[in-house]
Amino acid sequence: MIDSILLQFMLIGLLGIGSQWAAWRFRLPAIVLMSIAGLLAGPIFGLIHPEQDFGAVYRPIIAMAVAIILFEGSLNLDFKEVKGLGRPVVRIVTLGAFISWILGAFAAHYVAGLSWAVAFVIAGLFIVTGPTVILPLLRQAKLKARPAKILKWEGIIVDPIGALLAVFAFEFIRFILSDEVGIISLLSFFLASLFAILLGWACGRGVGWMFEMGYVPEYLKSPVVFTVVIACFTIADEVTHETGLLAVTAMGMTLANLHIPSISDMRHFKENISLLLISTIFIMLTASLTLDTLFQILNIQIMGFVLLMLFVVRPLSIWISTIGTDLTKPEKLLVGWIAPRGIVALTVSSYFASVLLDEGYEDANLLISITFALVFSTVVAHGFSIQWLAKKMNLSMEGPPGVLINGSSTFTVTLAKTLKELKVPVMIIDSSWERLMSARRAGVPTYHGEILSEQTEYTMDMTPFEYLIAASELDSYNALICTTFVPTFGRNNLYQLSLRNQSGDNLEGLVHSIGGRILFEEGASWEKLNQLAGEGYKFRKTNITSKYTFKDYMNNKNEGAILLLIKRPSGKIDFFTEEFATKAEQGDVVVSLMPPDKERDKIQTRLEEQRNETEQS
């Protein structure tokens, strides 16, 4: 075992973020890799045991991390987003949660062999899915907007409800079975829950008011928010255990619906913090398990309980609760299957295991084993199946990476038409109906709106698009668009056209630091490209083969040609830029802008047709 606490923290961070990177690189569920990494570092090889080594600070660290993660997730719960989803979401988080609780308690009693008291406590906890596991899966699966929003809202809203339900079940059982606990104790629990909601609302309104009135400078806004979140969670949790989760959820939802620009500006920073916390906390939890806990999972009763929760309790609760809603059968099937459990279930179950054991319920020693069995099983089963099932149900936006182009012009319309011919999803967005007319006449998908507006964020689904080209008439506006969408697309997938060289806005130094990559070769400005497209320059698609290599293509191409992009067989697109010289390989398609040399055009077309026929034969 590693004795140094500092080295343990380093290893936990490396394993957590390393798992996230490997998941991105190899398109695997991140939560699965984190679970495996934690098990290898903890109970299997014995390198670390955070719960034992960190001592008294272990649980507070976990608790505060869960509070911040839940707050960050609830900041995305804008009521504008739930338009059209209200009834299904409300039914799932109320009736669906209640059905899941009752069915789960019966399964825990009759199959897992738990007493009724322990069964109802743990079943309340198991209605939780939560943002720590749902949000990474949604990013991975690229679901259509409707089922993705339903799963996100359910995960974030039910997270505190599940913990509170477990507390309520415990208090109610104590009320029934104990002579010392009266109705006042039960009433105090409901009052504490109401206090937590009001506290969260007040904290959210207070922070919002301070920001709007300018009482907090920009550089202090993120620290202030996080300090208030921890204070809100701690105060509520000290009043009644687990109500802190309800308080931070209420605070996040309050801030999300105030629509304060400062909160929106900080959202990406908070997402990064949340990702770091999810990665490290999940490693800490799995690494703190023991081999005895893992061996208990192989118990036939525990395995039977997990199977019932996977294939009966969850699907049945969703199916019954959504009767009479407008959810389609594929949507019900997908939502009824996807319910991974995560950090909240693991942390709260360990708390109740100790409390119930103190109350004399000996079967509570199985709680951690049952919880981890369900967490790991659901994470693996749902993590590896969500993409496959979404595709089968036609609920996935999976496909070749698409290109979103802001700004309709002669050049961008022809470029979009060429991409469409290459089977690349493409869309042009512009705030002018007049400029979009040529795109609609060319059969190119369009969206009328301002790309930076809040309305566009709610009404336009950007899931199919992995590349963004800012191609308006203003360099500064293009740079602003690229900078705004860095967290969404990643800096490497953001491009912009230069309006002019060494003139106009003359933002050369600015766009290199905060904008997107400047497309194509030096001198290929917005004005020049549109001028050439208007003069009859052709967009030519050339197949690179074993007999006609990229070197041959470069030797034979017209001197006036401008190289635009390379489409790979995988669907990936590499754009030519001023600072990045890409090369085509066999099987790639090179798109370029060629001069309108009619005779050369005919010869080139005939040569390409002959090469294609030879390759096919």
The better pLDDT of the pair 14, 279 is held by 14
The SS3 of residue 154 is helix
388-422 confidence digits (pLDDT tens)? 888 888 887 766 788 999 999 999 999 999 999 88
The pTM of the full predicted model, rounded to 2 decimals, is 0.66
- Torsion angle, alpha carbons of 32, 97, 281, 226, to 10: 140
d(CA 517, CA 482): 9
Note the pLDDT tens digit of each residue in 281-293: 888 888 888 888 7
Percent of the chain scoring above 70 in pLDDT: 83
Q: Write out pLDDT tens, residues 226-261.
A: 899 999 999 998 888 768 878 888 898 898 888 777
Residue 140 contacts residue 29 (beta carbons within 8 Å): yes
The C-alpha atoms of residue 442 and residue 408 are separated, in whole angstroms, by: 12
Domain ranges (residues) in the chain? 5-184+267-392, 402-616
pLDDT of residue 205: 94
Considering only CA atoms, which of 35, 62, 44 is closest in space to residue 376? Answer: 35
Phi, psi of 196 (to 5 degrees): -60, -40
DSSP string covering 197-221, please? HHHHHHHHHHHHHHHHHT-S-HHHH
Q: What is the predicted pLDDT for the residue at 10?
A: 92
Establish how many alpha carbons lie within 13 A of residue 557's alpha carbon, considering only the half-sphere containing its beta carbon. 23
Across 25-48, average pLDDT: 84
Is the per-residue pLDDT at 113 higher than 50?
yes
What is the reported pLDDT for 317? Answer: 94
Region 202-225 average pLDDT:
89
> What's the pLDDT score for residue 613?
63
The b/e string for 453-489 (b: 16+ C-beta within 10 A; e otherwise) is eeebbeebebbbbbbbbbbbebbebbbbbbbbbbeeb
The identity of residue 403, as a single letter, is V
**What share of the chain in percent tops pLDDT 90?**
18
DSSP 223: H
> What tokens were used for 589?
């398609």
In DSSP notation, 46-87 reads: -S--HHHHHGGGHHHHHHHHHHHHHHHHHTT--TTTTTTTHH
Res. 175: pLDDT tops 70: no
- Between 191 and 617, the more confident residue is 191
> What span, in angstroms and rounded, lies between the C-alpha atoms of 374 and 137?
17
What's the CATH number of domain 5-184+267-392, 3.40.50.300, 1.20.1530.20, 1.25.40.10, 1.10.357.10? 1.20.1530.20
Q: Which residues contact 38 (CB under 8 A, 6 or more apart)?
A: 15, 282, 283, 284, 285, 286, 287, 289
Please check the confidence at residue 502 and state whether its pLDDT lies above 50: no
- For the cut 80, the answer to whether the pLDDT of residue 527 exceeds it is yes
Task: Give helix then strand counts, H and E, for the chain.
Answer: 28, 10
Q: Per-residue pLDDT tens for 327-336?
A: 889 999 999 9
- When comparing pLDDT for 239 and 453, which is higher? 239
Mean pLDDT of 14-37: 83
Superfamily the domain 402-616 falls into: NAD(P)-binding Rossmann-like Domain (3.40.50.720)
Higher pLDDT pick, 272 / 489: 489
How many alpha carbons fall within 13 Å on the CB side of residue 34? 31
Stretch 430-446: mean pLDDT: 90
- On the question of pLDDT at 531 being above 80, the answer is yes
Q: What is the mean pLDDT of the chain?
A: 82
Say what the pLDDT of residue 174 is: 65
Tens of pLDDT, residues 355-391 = 788 778 888 888 888 988 898 888 888 888 888 888 8
Q: What is the mean pLDDT of residues 588-602?
A: 75
- CA–CA separation, 428 vs 107, rounded Å? 52
CATH topology of 5-184+267-392 equal to that of 402-616? no
pLDDT at 497 over 80: yes
* DSSP code for 577: B
User: What mean pLDDT is predicted for residues 486-490?
Assistant: 77
